[in-house]
Structure formats: C-alpha cells, structure tokens
Copies of this chain bind each other. A is one copy, B any other.
Amino acid sequence: MMNYKVIEGGITAAKGFKATGTAAGIKYKDRKDMALVYSEQPCTAAATFTTNVVKAAPVKWDMDVVEHSPYLQAFVVNAGIANACTNEQGMQVCEKTAETAGKLLNIPAKAVAVSSTGVIGMQVPVDKIIAGVEKMVPTLGSTKEDGLTAAQSIMTTDTISKEAAVTFEIGGKTVTMGGMCKGSGMIHPNMCTLLAYVTTDLAISKELLAKALKEDVQETFNMISVDGDTSTNDTLLILANGMAGNPEITTEGPDYEIFKEALHYVNQTQAKKMAGDGEGATALIEAKVLHADTKENAKKIAKSVICSSLTKAAIYGHDSNWGRIMCAMGYAGAQFDPEKVDLYYEGNGHKMMVCHGGAMTDYSEEEATKTLSASEVTLVIDMNAGDATATAWGCDLTYDYVKINADYRS
C-alpha cells in the first residue's frame, strides 16, 4: 500500500511556494529561459551536486549557501549558458543574481540559490540576468500554471517540461510535495545536467532532510543515464518550509518513512521523465536486475546495460541483439556466472524470454521486434544468484542524438 497520493502540479503544489518564468534573452531568442521560485516562509534546505571536478560557478555558490546559510527562501535558474569554466567572473554573476533577487524579495542574498544550464565556457550576460530577475519578481504566483511556467523556463534541449507532485499525511496534517526538473543531454549516474527541485510544506529537521535526499538519489537520479557525460552543473535541491503544520520530523520512525516514500516517488518519477526525454530518444529503456548476489553488483549491471551505446542503438533499431546486453553486463565490473543468466524483454504488454542459462532461446524474432518497438522497453535480467535487485533507466541512441549534439551551439 502506498502512503502517498499522486496529484497534479509541480513546484508550486506545496503551501507557500510561488513560481514564475520569463524570456530574458540570455542566449535563446523569444523563448522562456529564466525561472524564479520563492517561499513565503524560510525553508530548511538540502541538496546534492555534481561529482565533476569542474564545477560550475552556481554549483559552488549553492554548495556554500546550502551548507552555511541558516535557511533558503528562493532560487533563480537560467537556461542557455551553464556559467561553467567562467572563473571569478562567473562567481560574480551568481552573487549579483542572488543580491538582486534578495533585495527585491526582501530576504538575504545568501537565502537565494542559483542554477544554470547550457553551454559551458561562455560568460553569462549579467545585465540580462538582473533584468530578468527584476521582471520576474512581480509575476510570482502559486497556481499550477505558474509552476508549469517555471518548469518550461528551465528547459534546454528537453522536449517536454517535467513535474511531479504528491500529498501524504503526517501527524494528522496533509503534507504536499512537488517538483520540477530538466535534463536531456549530459545525463549520467552521479548527477547530470539535471537540474531538479523539490518543494514541500513539510516540517523536518535539516539533518533528516539531507539524509533522506542523499539516500534516495542513489536509487533514482544516480540510476539514469542518457550519454555517460556527467555534467558540471548537476543540482538537486529540496526546500521544506514547514507550512503544512505537522509536528516537525526530528527522528527516524514511521513519519520519516512516509516522507521518504513520497520523496522516492517524486524523484523516481522525475528521473524517469528525464531518461525518457533523453536527447533524440524514441524510447525509455528500463534495466531491471533480479536475483543478483549483492545490491552493489545489481546496480553496476543495471547501469552498465543502460549506458551501452550498442544496446541503445539496437533498441532504436528494434533489433533483438541481446548479446550486447550480456556484453554490457560482462564489463560492468561485477563478477557473475554468465551461464546462469536469463534475459527477458517487456514492452507493449508482452514479456518474452530471449536468453536462458546464458544462451539463446528459440524465440520469435517478429515478436521480439514488436516488443522492442514499445515506447517503454524493460530489459529484465535474472541473475539467478541471490536476492538483490536494482533498476536503472536510460534511452535509445538515435540519429537525432548525434544531430542535436553536433549542432548544439549553433
């Protein structure tokens, strides 16, 4: 039984959160490219960031404010330029952005997080950013449409905006949690360009908010990959403003578990939306590893399969080249007995076994092609070796991926 209820909405679903977006002309013409989210009350904050050694300026800014500021109350996002490899000038852009937003919202600059996504190496036109913030502040709103506007404004090569929201009960109070995210290329386990935000009116201690986020990201955002490139800008930020009025969660226990379950739904839903909207993708690929000897091996194998260019290209061609799945499992860095492995395809309502005990079954190629033509293809990998499971998500590799990335800057 689920302890949460899925609802419509996104970043403005929870009490007290307002959002907006605008076309600031930072890089794109006549297209929304900046978003602002604001909470009426100060928020407990937690975040995870890219593991890339080359960290964008806004990542450095956010690492500082999430760790050292007593609370956060707003964040500003721009799409088009990543503000990465911009050195001191890039840091100044972050400061100016936060200062401008803080002044207009009457909150400290250090209560404002900033994020950027787009081309690496270009300097951000700070005057356009400031004008954008000035334009956005008066248009903040708390409707579903305002949330959607924000979600649309942070897109780059994304083809659809991505939101999720749930409600759940804590101490007799209804708590709401919503999120928005963007990400399509440069997506890889260990955080991606991947900007994801979750807002909730839950009251919870900073320590437990951070713990829940850190744990859940291992099973959700760190289990997706589009192209194996871990971005310089990845950020997942959660803000909790306590306005639901629940007794604050300060210890692990049933309430904390309910919150974690809801958080997992929001994160997993957003992560899958990113994988399915991978650059040029025509299908979401799910790799589900069953009966592995250890959880760690299950995760390695699931990730390796969804990262394999050859497997991804085969699925784009609806070609039942299951040997490539075995090959990707084999170089995952996990030991296993290939002659115990069973493989199944699931898609379009079919489930079929293509490999039993490490060798080909007598399956129908026609049925396989049909199954692999689904817009969501699941590769079930039964290791027959233990009790551990793991799931990872990716997408197929298409001509359009190459096209998008050969022409990206133009």
A325-342 interface code vs B (CB 8 A; 1 in, 0 out): 011111110111011000
A18 CB, min distance to chain B CBs, angstroms = 33
Given A52-B331, A190-B331, check contact A317 B407 (CB 8 Å). Answer: yes
The answer to whether B331 and A406 touch across the interface, beta carbons within 8 angstroms, is no
Closest to A332 in B: B53
Contacts of A123 in B (CB 8 A): 360
Closest to A338 in B: B54
At the interface, yes or no: A120 with Cβ under 8 Å from chain B? Answer: yes
The answer to whether A121 and B54 touch across the interface, beta carbons within 8 angstroms, is no
At the interface, yes or no: A322 with Cβ under 8 Å from chain B? Answer: yes
Complex Cα gap A379–B322 (Å): 36
Interface residue stretch chosen among A83-91, A208-216, A246-254, A385-393:
A83-91
Closest to A229 in B: B310
Q: Give the residue among A338, A357, A398 with the most B Cβ atoms within 10 A.
A: A338
Partner of A87, one of B119, B188, B358, B408: B358
The answer to whether A54 and B405 touch across the interface, beta carbons within 8 angstroms, is no
Contacts of A4 in B (CB 8 A): none
Closest to A334 in B: B53
**Number of residues of chain A lying within 8 A (CB) of chain B:** 69
The answer to whether B232 and A326 touch across the interface, beta carbons within 8 angstroms, is yes
The answer to whether B405 and A310 touch across the interface, beta carbons within 8 angstroms, is yes
Given A185-B310, A338-B53, check contact A85 B360 (CB 8 Å). Answer: yes
A91 CB, min distance to chain B CBs, angstroms = 11
Complex Cα gap A11–B98 (Å): 66
A52-B327, A85-B338, A399-B399 known, 15 other contacts, Cβ within 8 Å: A53-B338, A85-B323, A87-B357, A89-B359, A121-B359, A122-B360, A228-B308, A228-B309, A229-B324, A232-B323, A319-B410, A320-B409, A321-B409, A399-B403, A401-B402
Q: What are 27 inter-chain pairs, A to B, with CB distance below 8 A?
A: A53-B336, A54-B326, A54-B329, A84-B326, A87-B357, A87-B358, A119-B321, A120-B323, A120-B324, A121-B326, A122-B323, A185-B310, A188-B331, A190-B331, A228-B308, A229-B324, A232-B323, A309-B401, A313-B405, A313-B406, A314-B408, A317-B406, A319-B407, A319-B408, A319-B410, A397-B405, A399-B403
